[in-house]
Amino acid sequence: MPVSPLAPKIIPEMPVIDGVEFATAATGTKYKGRDDVMLAKLAAGTSVAGVFTRSATRAAPVLDCEAKLGQAAGRKTAAIFVNAGNANAFTGTNGTDAVAAITKAVATATKVPQARVFTASTGVIGEPLPTDGITAALDKMVADLSPEDMAKAAAAIRTTDTFTKVATTTVDLDGTPINIAGIAKGSGMIAPDMATMLVYIFTDAAVAQAPLQRLVGRLTDKTFNAITVDGDTSTSDTLLVAATGKSGAPAINDLRGRNAKTFGDGLHAVMLDLAHQVVRDGEGATKFVEVAVTGAASPSDAKRAAMAIANSPLVKTAIAGEDPNWGRVVMAVGKSGAKADRDQLTIHFGDTLVAEKGWVSPDYTEAAGAAYMKLDNLKITVDLGMGNGVFTAWTCDFTHGYISINADYRS
Amino acid sequence: MPVSPLAPKIIPEMPVIDGVEFATAATGTKYKGRDDVMLAKLAAGTSVAGVFTRSATRAAPVLDCEAKLGQAAGRKTAAIFVNAGNANAFTGTNGTDAVAAITKAVATATKVPQARVFTASTGVIGEPLPTDGITAALDKMVADLSPEDMAKAAAAIRTTDTFTKVATTTVDLDGTPINIAGIAKGSGMIAPDMATMLVYIFTDAAVAQAPLQRLVGRLTDKTFNAITVDGDTSTSDTLLVAATGKSGAPAINDLRGRNAKTFGDGLHAVMLDLAHQVVRDGEGATKFVEVAVTGAASPSDAKRAAMAIANSPLVKTAIAGEDPNWGRVVMAVGKSGAKADRDQLTIHFGDTLVAEKGWVSPDYTEAAGAAYMKLDNLKITVDLGMGNGVFTAWTCDFTHGYISINADYRS
């Protein structure tokens, strides 16, 4: 699979996060000749927060992780283990058994309590996950653990991803520099409810579990829950944020105050960067599209309208065809359920005013719209003229590449 | 555009409906060398019922029709006028002006009260509809009116349709034969809320406006609101049912009793036939797929799950690839919001039991699934194991053809 034309041009060097070590291995479960598992070992006292798919048919590893979150770290270590190629989803009791086998083997090999071993599986649904190759790889992985290998971990968790997704930033808490860095995989089955993505973010900040969990939930709404590739939702989505506290900066125990704000801004930046990369690797994507809805009657109406535009097959195929077909944007707003009035809509493509007062703008020309649509990065802004609700979503175009990838994924 | 491989093999002869006359003409508004407008004149006393798109950005002709429905026919005549190629949607005050110009010209030419002239426009959104060519064609159309030309009317209202859609049946009311026959257009932008379709059904039964309206609404839920091509919703959808009362059969004045039941069954058959034809002409479709959900906690949960499966790009691309990827069906149920439990799901492809109790059935083989998926007409049955709610939806596969058609519709 060729690398997405929308892949970031500059790939950052990943920092060492004090308190986190990585190892990867090739188990041959599905992919040959590449690493397909990753292990992250987290120092004693690391807080772990997370959000998961809302699917009613969540995979076994998701159910296991959900049950384990929410406890304060105390002095306990933790571990994250991910395999790519097989989602261990809808595999009946086999699924639960596989999670138990993997978490037990990871616990034994890493000396982490089993109740603090978080796993995820990504790939094909409905095929039992063989665990022997995975458990057999663990002792060597533990021996290989290194704080340097976050980028290798990012590469190991890919499935249909055409590029490795990493993001990093630093913030300053009372003079102490804090690293926040993360990895992600995901390129299809991406929908508002945190679809087929695995995201792992690590920081050396000290943040208590409860405020970290609240912050992650809040930031997910405007990052990973604001992107869509195909409107489909995976059974396996997992986002974990681990805070080791090794930086020596003052601990964040609630979300008030300047340090919490600064840390939240940094975490938001890393989450948004990774979320955008998932869209940029959308299956078959050739255009990255920001959809900004303003002037909605409420924030939920704004989200409804933005996601209806971002998910519309007709809007997305028009973008693929570089067709400034603003009529389809009107159609999507109309079907969204958001309060709207045809004659109050204002639509911009980039800086170009396209439509207002229920009709095309007198200054708009098809030539201007068509020239804009040739860009790789597009922005569609729709003001509903109803109130103050705003929401921004990110999507990609819908191309022959998506059909090709998904019409024969299993073959 | 080649004819859909799913087009019906046998096209029925359309009956004469006493009290209905048709004419068509070529105005050259967008299409060249084919008829693009149709006029139906309805005898005095004809009841007209209808349902329309629920889009918040409904086109001007829809707003006009909605305002005109609901009145008892009395002794008034009525007329239906449709143009294809330009939707007269999101055209600001031009849109309202065009509707006024057309309905006035039709009223003058046909001697039908303007308040009983129902129009619809289908085609590109956002371009003003020139009315001169249309109004100039009317006198000749009135002179050409003929009860024989329902099939020509069906051909004139096509846009991206690859075949003309007609359906007909007869029922017996107390020994008097009743004709029910209809025409439709629509092949993309088809979604649960009565998407880009125009449907006109004519009968010589005598049915009062109020019960006809109730019956049409009820039957729409299990026909046109149960089909999807791409989940998008048009700004122009219109379904009108006109009952001339010329058969001489006893009048239906409420929905109780055997005659109302018999008439309703006939109308349901014609509506379902036309709805299925719209799916069979889905843009790029190569497979016609029935999605039956049973055992849901409620009827609305059943609909939610069925439409989530029927709209899922991943399910629809798997079908295009003839891949029996039941894991994507599980995914779609999971994201639907319907109450579900992975371990209670039972999935059949045709008569083949694929999955039960949270995993693939022990008797299922990929070879059996793959052989089934090669058929043109498929049925996916999902029992949620939660209750007694049922819903059946119809969809098509998602192919390269859809992308090709929609990525350059305007060019």
How many residues can be counted in chain B? 411
Best residue in A52, A55, A86, A329 for a mutation probing chain B (most B CBs within 10 Å):
A55
Which residue among B56, B335, B338 places its CB closest to the CB of A191? Answer: B335
Contact B312 A336 (CB under 8 A): no
Q: What does R_g of chain B's alpha carbons equal in angstroms?
A: 22
CA B225/CA A389 separation, integer angstroms: 30
Distance from CA of B230 to the nearest CA of A (A): 6
pLDDT on residue B334: 87
Residue numbers in chain A where pLDDT is lower than 50 = 190-195, 411
Distance from CA of B105 to the nearest CA of A (A): 24
pLDDT on residue B409: 53
The set of residues, in sequence order, having a beta carbon less than 8 Å from that of A30 and lying 6+ positions away, is A36, A84, A85, A86, A123, A124
How many residues can be counted in chain A? 411
pLDDT on residue B186: 85
Choosing from A103, A196, A220, A294, the catalytic residue is: A196
The gap between the terminal CA atoms of chain A, to the nearest Å, is 15
CA B186/CA B289 separation, integer angstroms: 17
Task: Give the residue numbers of B annotated as catalytic, written as ranges.
Answer: 196
**Does the structural domain A288-407 have CATH classification 3.30.70.100?**
no
Q: Could you tell me if A367 lies within 8 Å of chain B, comparing CB atoms?
A: no
Q: If you average pLDDT over residues B93-120, what whole number do you get?
A: 95
Contact A90 B330 (CB under 8 A): yes
Best residue in A406, A408, A409 for a mutation probing chain B (most B CBs within 10 Å):
A406
Q: If you average pLDDT over residues B218-241, what whole number do you get?
A: 83
pLDDT on residue B235: 65
Per CB-CB distance under 8 Å, the chain B contacts of A95 are: 358
Q: Does the annotation place A47 within a ligand binding site?
A: no
- Indicate the CATH number of B20-280 among 3.60.70.12, 3.10.180.10, 3.40.50.720, 3.40.50.300: 3.60.70.12
Residue A371 CB neighbour total at 10 angstroms: 14
The set of residues, in sequence order, having a beta carbon less than 8 Å from that of B61 and lying 6+ positions away, is B88, B95, B99, B119, B120, B121, B236, B238
Q: Could you tell me if B91 lies within 8 Å of chain A, comparing CB atoms?
A: yes
Q: Could you tell me if A332 lies within 8 Å of chain B, comparing CB atoms?
A: yes
Q: Does the annotation place B185 within a ligand binding site?
A: yes
The residue of chain B nearest to residue A57, with distances taken between CA atoms, is B334
Annotated catalytic, A168?
Answer: no
Residue spans per domain, chain A: 20-280, 288-407
User: Token pair for residue A313?
Assistant: 């097959």
pLDDT on residue A136: 95
Averaged pLDDT of chain B: 91
Per CB-CB distance under 8 Å, the chain B contacts of A55 are: 331, 334-335
Per CB-CB distance under 8 Å, the chain B contacts of A358 are: 90-93, 95
Chains A and B form CB pairs within 8 A to the count of 220
Looking at per-residue pLDDT, the higher value among B146 and A409 belongs to: B146
User: Token pair for residue A52?
Assistant: 């998961």
Predicted confidence band at B194 (pLDDT cuts at 50, 70, 90)?
A: very low
Per CB-CB distance under 8 Å, the chain B contacts of A89 are: 327, 330
Contact A334 B189 (CB under 8 A): no
User: Token pair for residue B54?
Assistant: 């629920």
* B15-39 per-position pLDDT tens digit: 999 999 999 999 998 889 999 999 9
Which residues sit opposite A292 in a β-bridge? A381, A392
